């Protein structure tokens, strides 16, 4: 028999009479003694005198007795239940049952050192509780307070729905006579997917001048934490409920990746850990499992930062389920990898669903907690905190600009090389970013043919400067190119100059500190000769949005119209598109095609970025593109030659 469909049924005695008549087996949704013992045993002593409220046909009292707790008195409003309990427990001396009302107890003041309520509060207080329901529960709380001895504990086993938590806190916290503690129960016995909690209220001898402590024992911790406010306590409960739902979701094989964030003591720093769970969709069951900790400094790479990459990582690790653990640059991990393993070990263990699980699993990695070298840090009024970092990947030293308000987002990346004076310098002739190489490959479509002719006249704009690496590459490899770089954040220009060797003094570079949308609006009104042959759209949006690049503001009719009118009649755009929704991506291309009727796409192997090439030339006037013919025209001296021709080989016309 399942839970009632209407919450009001919980408070209807007729419902419970019918419920127990149909259900002969013990009702243990909230867990049996084996589930609860790890929590409640720490608060119980054999000499305690127990009162159980609303015992129903649960075997909790019986199991407590058989584990050494012999002074137990249980009450329930249903006489038939009490009769059954008396008959089943007649040989257990000192264990008593009687028909009784929790809101009108018959025992003397301070008669019990332990009062246990398993599900009764939830039954009496539905989400849409009436004033009479609330008055009844208040009377029960007052009666518990009366019969509970000083130093005694009122233990409530509950689903901790928000209204239950609120009512419990609002009653006991203002009394200043109770230490309130919340602990989640790992209830594996009942098969009931809702998380179960123990609310423990410990009674002091008398009210204190100030409110007593609030405490919580989280699933991810082995210690009890003090909570500063009732709101924080409620947030902790909600977090534990979300965690339970996640674990329940992961209790079976997953069809697609899922993830959860864990915050530290200061939520403003962002998640302390992000854990992604990736399963083999073709596996009949999960027989192999491991965790993989991604070091800070490697988290932006395709293998870790994209769903497709994480699927490949699972395959490389040879596991049917892989729990991938991400760290956060804003957080401190003083104890290194051992500390990380200690923090996440208990939770990750709950994701291990192997049938023959012995409780042992590997935690893999490719280095320490932090494999980057921080060159410089600072803060921008527009983009927030930033960090310039260096990391070595597969023998290549790279320097990266990272914005700290997003996880796994590298704004710019450059290769490092040894200069003539044996010092380390930025390699401006090679492009480290895959999508930058794809953008250069898109120039194979340009009527000016800059990839074939070193002296091709070409007026270009780069919307989004970043480290200035794309702009620097353009002026170094296209001798007659003139590039206007448009950047909203003046701090980014300073970073490009200071840490990425941006050639800002080159006469063929203009840097405009301006909103790129306004720049397009102004350029659209200029005469033909002042417009651009190529516009590279390299601006980022929200990391968590369905559309990550470019921001949606660049795809409005007004913005696309200005983009179209900012390029010459034989001009083109090369736009970096990143979206997690393929259908949404198709609709974006269709919208762009209204302004640039001839569209091509350049897909990367990594399937993260997609470069959209848009021409103003009508589609039916263009000859079919043959990538190999385009490749044959590319100059061999161009930087990142192999990657650029690889991008050209992936150019395809878009049908819409």
DSSP E strands, 102-162? 112-118, 148-158
> 605: exposed, middle or buried (C-beta count within 10 Å: 0-12, 13-18, 19+)?
exposed
| CA–CA distance, 581 with 545 (Å, rounded to integer) | 10
H helices present in 533-651, as ranges: 557-566, 582-593, 627-632, 641-648
Residue 22 confidence (pLDDT) above 90: no
**Residue 90 neighbours by CB under 8 Å, 6+ apart:** none
CA distances from 98 to 55, 62, 145, 199 (A): 10, 15, 20, 25
Give ∠ CA 415-396-375 in degrees, rounded to 5.
60
Residue 616: what are its φ and ψ, rounded to 5°?
-75, -20
Span of 70-84, 486-500, 617-631 with lowest mean pLDDT: 617-631
- 387 sits in the region (left: phi over 0; alpha: psi -120 to 50; else beta) called beta
Q: List the structure tokens of 118.
A: 């398993």
- pLDDT surpasses 60 at 450: yes
Structure tokens at 182: 């919340």
The per-residue pLDDT for range 467-504, each reduced to its tens digit, is 999 999 999 999 999 999 999 999 999 999 999 999 99
Which residues 6+ apart lie within 8 Å of 237 measured at CB? 160, 165, 182, 197, 216
pLDDT value at position 8? 46
pLDDT band at 187 (very low <50, low <70, confident <90, very high): low
Spatial distance between the Cα atoms of 321 and 289, rounded to a whole number of angstroms: 5
- pLDDT band at residue 39, thresholds of 50, 70 and 90? confident
pLDDT at 218 over 80: no
CB 591 within 8 Å of CB 580: no
- Phi and psi at residue 215, to the nearest 5°: -135, 150
pLDDT mean over 144-164: 95
* C-alpha angle 430-433-439 in degrees, rounded to nearest 5: 85
Report whether pLDDT(437) > 70.
Answer: yes
Integer Cα distance of 641 and 591 in angstroms: 32
What percentage of the chain has pLDDT greater than the value 70? Answer: 92
Q: Report the C-alpha gap between 289 and 319 in whole angstroms.
A: 5
Q: Would you say residue 1 has pLDDT above 50?
A: no
Mean pLDDT of 120-143: 94
Kindly indicate the confidence band of residue 26, based on its pLDDT and cuts at 50, 70 and 90. very low
* pLDDT the model gives residue 263: 86
Task: Examine residue 625 and say whether the peptide bond preceding it is cis (omega within 30 degrees of 0).
Answer: no
CA angle, corner 49, sides to 43 and 54, nearest 5? Answer: 85
Let me know if the fold of 7-247 is the same as that of 434-653.
Answer: yes
Can you give the C-alpha Rg of the chain in angstroms?
33
Above pLDDT 90, what percent of the chain?
Answer: 68
CB-based contact 155:200 (threshold 8 Å): yes
Which band of pLDDT confidence, cut at 50, 70 and 90, is reported for residue 308?
A: confident
Domain ranges for the chain = 7-247, 250-365, 373-426, 434-653
CATH of domain 434-653: 3.40.50.150
For residue 21, what pLDDT band results from cuts at 50, 70 and 90? low
Beta strands in 34-85 (DSSP E): 50-53, 72-76
Least confident range from 21-35, 199-213, 559-573, 590-604: namely 21-35
- On average, the pLDDT of the chain sits at 89
Q: Which of 393, 399, 395 is nearest to 416 (CA)?
A: 399
Work out the pLDDT band at 221, boundaries 50, 70, 90: low
Please tell me the distance from the alpha carbon of residue 605 to that of residue 156, in angstroms, as a whole number. 55
Residue with tokens 């990736």: 278
How far, CA to CA in Å, does 563 sit from each of 128, 531, 556, 591? 55, 10, 10, 13
How high is the pLDDT of residue 189?
47
pLDDT band at 6 (very low <50, low <70, confident <90, very high): very low
Length of the chain: 656
Dist CA 212 CA 228 (whole Å): 11
Contacts of 249 (CB under 8 A, 6+ apart): 258
pLDDT in tens, 523-557: 999 999 999 999 999 998 766 566 788 999 999 99
For 102-130, how does the pLDDT look when each residue is reduced to its tens digit (9 = 90+)? 999 999 999 999 999 999 999 999 888 89
Q: Hey, how many other C-beta atoms are within 10 angstroms of the C-beta on 332? A: 12
pLDDT at 625 (0 to 100): 84
**Whole-number Cα distances in Å, 117 to 145, 158, 241:** 13, 8, 20
Burial of 571 (0-12, 13-18, 19+ CB in 10 A): buried
What per-residue confidence (pLDDT) applies to 18?
Answer: 62
Over residues 382-402, the pLDDT tens digits come to 989 999 999 998 888 999 999
What CA–CA distance (Å, rounded) separates 388 from 366?
21
- Report the SS3 class of residue 578: strand
Three-class DSSP category at 272: strand
Q: Could you tell me if 557 and 584 are in contact, meaning their C-beta atoms sit under 8 angstroms apart?
A: no
pLDDT at 193: 58
**7 Cβ neighbours under 8 A, 6+ residues apart:** 126, 127, 128
Q: pLDDT at position 219, please? A: 64
CB atoms within 10 A of CB 540: 18
Our CA angle for 646, 651, 652, nearest 5°, is 150
SS3 238: helix
Q: What is the pLDDT of residues 324-351, one digit of tens each?
A: 999 998 899 999 999 999 989 888 998 9
In the chain, what's the furthest Cα-to-Cα distance? Answer: 102
Going from the C-alpha of 510 to that of each of 355, 473, 481, 513, the distances in angstroms are 63, 14, 12, 10
Q: Where are the beta strands (DSSP E) in 24-168?
A: 50-53, 72-76, 95-99, 112-118, 148-158
* Cα–Cα nearest to 397, from 437, 432, 435: 432
Half-sphere exposure of 575 (CA within 13 A, CB side): 27
Question: Is this model's pTM higher than 0.75 or not?
Answer: no
Looking at CATH, the fold of the domain delimited by 7-247 is given as Rossmann fold (3.40.50)
Instruction: Count the alpha carbons within 13 Å of 134 in the hemisphere toward its beta carbon.
Output: 12
Three-state secondary structure call for residue 16: helix
Q: What average pLDDT does this structure show over 355-364?
A: 81
pLDDT at 190: 46
């Amino acid at each position: 028999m399942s839970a009632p469909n209407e919450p009001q049924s919980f408070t209807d005695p007729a419902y419970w009479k019918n419920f127990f008549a149909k259900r002969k087996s013990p009702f243990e949704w909230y867990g049996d003694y084996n589930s609860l013992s790890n929590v409640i045993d720490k608060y119980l002593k054999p000499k305690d005198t127990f009162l159980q409220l609303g015992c129903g046909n649960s075997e909790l009292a019986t199991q407590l007795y058989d584990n050494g707790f012999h002074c137990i008195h249980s009450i329930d409003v249903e006489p038939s239940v009490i009769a059954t309990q008396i008959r089943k427990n007649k040989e257990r001396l000192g264990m008593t049952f009687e028909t009784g009302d929790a809101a009108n107890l018959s025992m003397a003041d301070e008669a019990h050192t332990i009062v246990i309520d398993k599900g009764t509060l939830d039954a009496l207080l539905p989400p849409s509780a009436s004033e009479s329901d609330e008055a009844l529960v208040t009377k029960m709380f007052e009666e518990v307070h009366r019969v509970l001895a000083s130093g005694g504990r009122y233990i409530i086993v509950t689903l901790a729905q928000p209204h239950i938590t609120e009512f419990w806190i609002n009653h006991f916290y203002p009394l200043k006579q109770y230490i309130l503690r919340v602990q989640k129960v790992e209830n594996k016995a009942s098969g009931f997917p809702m998380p179960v909690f123990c609310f423990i209220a410990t009674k002091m001898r008398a009210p204190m001048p100030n409110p007593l402590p609030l405490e919580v024992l989280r699933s991810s911790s082995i210690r009890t934490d003090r909570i500063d406010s009732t709101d924080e306590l409620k947030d902790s409960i909600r977090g534990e409920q979300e965690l339970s739902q996640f674990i329940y979701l992961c209790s079976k094989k997953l069809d697609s990746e899922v993830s959860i964030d864990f915050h530290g003591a200061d939520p403003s720093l962002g998640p302390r850990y992000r854990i992604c769970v990736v399963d083999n969709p073709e596996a009949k069951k999960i027989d192999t499992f491991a965790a993989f900790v991604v070091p800070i400094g490697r988290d932006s790479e395709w293998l870790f930062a994209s769903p497709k990459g994480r699927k490949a990582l699972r395959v490389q690790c040879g596991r049917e389920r892989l729990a991938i653990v991400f760290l956060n640059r804003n957080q401190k991990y003083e104890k290194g990898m051992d500390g990380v393993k200690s923090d996440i070990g208990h939770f990750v263990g709950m994701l291990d669903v192997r049938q023959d699980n012995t409780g042992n699993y590997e935690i893999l990695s490719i280095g320490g907690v932090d494999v980057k070298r921080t060159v410089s840090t600072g803060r921008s009024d527009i983009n927030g905190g930033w960090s310039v970092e260096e990391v070595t990947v597969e023998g290549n030293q790279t320097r990266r600009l990272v914005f700290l308000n997003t996880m796994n987002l590298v704004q710019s990346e450059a290769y490092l090389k040894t200069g003539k004076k044996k010092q380390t310098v930025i390699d401006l002739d090679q492009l480290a970013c895959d999508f930058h190489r794809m953008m250069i490959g898109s120039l194979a479509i340009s009527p000016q043919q800059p990839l074939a002719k070193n002296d091709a006249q070409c007026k270009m704009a780069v919307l989004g400067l970043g480290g200035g690496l794309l702009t620097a590459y353009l002026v170094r490899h296209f001798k007659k190119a003139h590039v206007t770089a448009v950047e909203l954040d003046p701090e980014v220009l300073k970073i490009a100059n200071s840490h990425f060797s941006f050639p800002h003094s080159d006469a063929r570079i203009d840097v405009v500190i301006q909103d790129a949308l306004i720049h397009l609006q102004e350029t659209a009104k200029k005469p033909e000769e002042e417009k651009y042959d190529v516009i590279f759209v390299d601006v980022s949006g929200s990391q968590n949005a369905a559309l990550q690049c470019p921001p949606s503001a660049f795809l409005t009719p007004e913005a696309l119209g200005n983009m179209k009118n900012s390029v010459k009649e034989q001009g083109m755009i090369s736009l970096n598109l990143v979206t997690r929704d393929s259908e949404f991506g198709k609709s974006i291309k269709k919208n762009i095609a209204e302004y640039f009727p001839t569209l091509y796409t350049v897909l990367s192997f990594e399937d993260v970025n997609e470069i959209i090439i848009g021409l103003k030339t009508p589609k039916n006037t263009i000859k079919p593109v043959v990538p190999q013919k385009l490749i044959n025209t590319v100059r061999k001296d161009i930087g990142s030659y192999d990657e650029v021709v690889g991008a050209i080989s992936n150019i395809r016309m878009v049908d819409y």
